[in-house]
Amino acid sequence: MEPRQRAGVSVTVITIHPEGTKYDDINEHYVLIDYMRRNGIRVRTTNVENEHYAVIDQHLVWHGGMNLLGKEDVWDNLIRVGNSQAAAELMEISEMAVSESEKS
């Protein structure tokens, strides 16, 4: 990741706030968030976890029933879509979710 960051790539992760997790160790979530931040990744949290996706270069979307930051599950699945409009809409939804969480 570091070479890409030096080349100008920025990464933002939007994830459920550790206090809102329903399973796993809350402290583990705090540790992972701290690790990402110390490695130059912008982390924003939300109180609502309803989607799992990654947007890359404002064009490529990986979307599906997979917690990209969590543990693997037998039901995990992903689809890959190359579409700037879909990526923009997902990012807009993400910003609205984070903004709503920050108000509460």
Provide the pLDDT for residue 51. 67
| Domain boundaries defined on the chain | 2-103
68 against 36, higher pLDDT: 36
Residue pair 52/63 in contact by the 8 Å Cβ criterion: yes
- Tell me the DSSP string of 24-71: S-HHHHHHHHHHHHHTT-EEEEES-----EEEETTTEEEESS--TTS-
Instruction: For 61-75, write each residue's pLDDT tens digit.
Output: 888 766 666 666 666
What confidence score (pLDDT) does residue 6 get? 84
SS3 22: coil
pLDDT tens per residue, range 5-33:
788 877 778 788 888 877 778 898 899 89
Closest CA to 89 of 58, 44, 43: 58
| Domain covering 2-103, topology | Endonuclease; Chain A (3.30.870)
Q: Whole-number mean pLDDT of the chain?
A: 80
pLDDT range class, residue 50, cuts 50, 70, 90? low
pLDDT at position 68 = 62
Q: Which percentage of the chain shows pLDDT scores above 90? A: 13
pLDDT score, position 71: 66
